[in-house]
Amino acid sequence: WFHQIREVIHNQETDSIDFLQDFKTSFLTEEIYVYTPKGDVKMLPVGSTALDFAFAIHSAIGVKTIGAKVNHKLVPISHKLHSGDQVEIITSNKQKASEDWLGFVVTSKAKGRIRDALKEEKRKVSDEGRYAVQRKLEGLGASMSQHNIDEMVHWYKLPSNLDLFYQVAIKNIDLKELKDFKVVGDRIEAPKPIKHVTEKHEFIPHIGKKDAELIIFGESSDKIVYNLAKCCNPIPGDDVFGFVTTGKGLTIHRSNCPNAAKLLASYGHRVVKTKWAKNKEISFLTGIKIVGMDDVGVVSKITNLISGELKINISALTIEAKEGLFEGNIKLYVHDKEELDNLVQKLLALQGIASVERYDMEDIPS
């Protein structure tokens, strides 16, 4: 109990509000008693998950956790534990902490270590963004000064330098936009907001439907130049919007695309309502990740369902197995979201399959 208090106090990332919340959650609630496969006992707050248990064992184990076996049954990391459960943690060196984890862990140690891991990962990725910003500024004849960085942070409406470098590194920010900045000596000055009004009149006629509020695309005879955003890989049936891009026509994003909030906030005048046209002749590339028990014939079951029963074309498939669990990454072509949803439901119905998730980002495995 005192060890848990020490964990919270020494966690420098925890502010006063988080401390009070963690104190109530971790120390003023009832506890459960959970066992390791060797019979060791771990005490955790009621509502703790398999991931809380993993962090209770060791932080290094927690950040690599991909699943667990509770009473010899495969469960996801968000599975809530009960007194008397025997828990075996399954890890993978490829696993990384996710911000989603903060939504279901309850112990202060797990929350603190997840935040630490996320910040450390962000710092590593941000280094690439920092070098990219420096090269771009030097190319413009400006310096890598705090003033210039602050100017960019303010322009992109980001909370910190780290966030700027991170967004550049993951290609959410295109540094080509800096050509609109004014260079005075070795300093840059962001364009005045009035520039956005001018851009509005430039881009709307490019659509080709001057007064239309809704653009329907996807038909084979469609004259609108459009492309599908790689950051979210939309397919017919997804809720989407169009973003007008110079020289590229319309770029289609999913409404829940990670970049949607920034595009709508900063470039709302270049966003147009769009809707898919029904077209079963065209297939779209998407990807799914499957996790389940590593059993004989599991790959055959999956491929027979996809290619044999549902007649869906597989572009690529990789399967990795470790410690009784397999993880499969599949790239395939579907006609629309309805076909993809049907596939996901049928895969989940197969014995031994624990989870099936669609890849949302451009990190669909190559």
Q: Is the pLDDT of residue 162 over 80?
A: yes
Find which of 9-18, 195-204, 310-319, 322-331 is predicted with most confidence, using mean pLDDT: 310-319
Q: How far apart are CA 347 and CA 342, in angstroms?
A: 9
What is the pLDDT confidence band of residue 279, given thresholds at 50, 70 and 90? low
Least confident of 100-109, 180-189, 191-200: 191-200
Q: How far apart are CA 188 and CA 155, in angstroms?
A: 11
Q: Is the pLDDT of residue 184 over 90?
A: no
pLDDT (average), residues 7-11:
54
The answer to whether 118 and 100 are in contact (CB under 8 A) is no
User: Residue 198: its pLDDT value, please?
Assistant: 36
Question: What pTM value is reported for the model?
Answer: 0.47
What is the pLDDT confidence band of residue 251, given thresholds at 50, 70 and 90? confident
Domains of the chain as residue ranges with CATH:
2-115 (3.10.20.30), 124-189 (no CATH), 195-276 (no CATH), 284-358 (3.30.70.260)
Q: Which residue has the tokens 């070795």?
A: 186
Q: Is the pLDDT of residue 199 over 50?
A: no
What is the pLDDT confidence band of residue 213, given thresholds at 50, 70 and 90? very low
Q: How far apart are CA 366 and CA 363, in angstroms?
A: 8
Mean pLDDT, the chain, whole residue set: 78
Q: Is the pLDDT of residue 52 over 90?
A: yes
pLDDT (average), residues 34-38:
92
Least confident of 15-19, 100-104, 134-138, 277-281: 15-19
Comparing 27 with 162, the larger pLDDT belongs to 162
Q: pLDDT per residue over 336-352, tens digit each?
A: 888 888 999 999 888 88
∠ CA 312-314-317 to the nearest 5 degrees?
A: 140
Q: Which residue has the tokens 């009832």?
A: 30
The answer to whether 138 and 188 are in contact (CB under 8 A) is no
Q: Is the pLDDT of residue 35 over 90?
A: yes
User: Residue 34: its pLDDT value, please?
Assistant: 93
User: Residue 19: its pLDDT value, please?
Assistant: 52
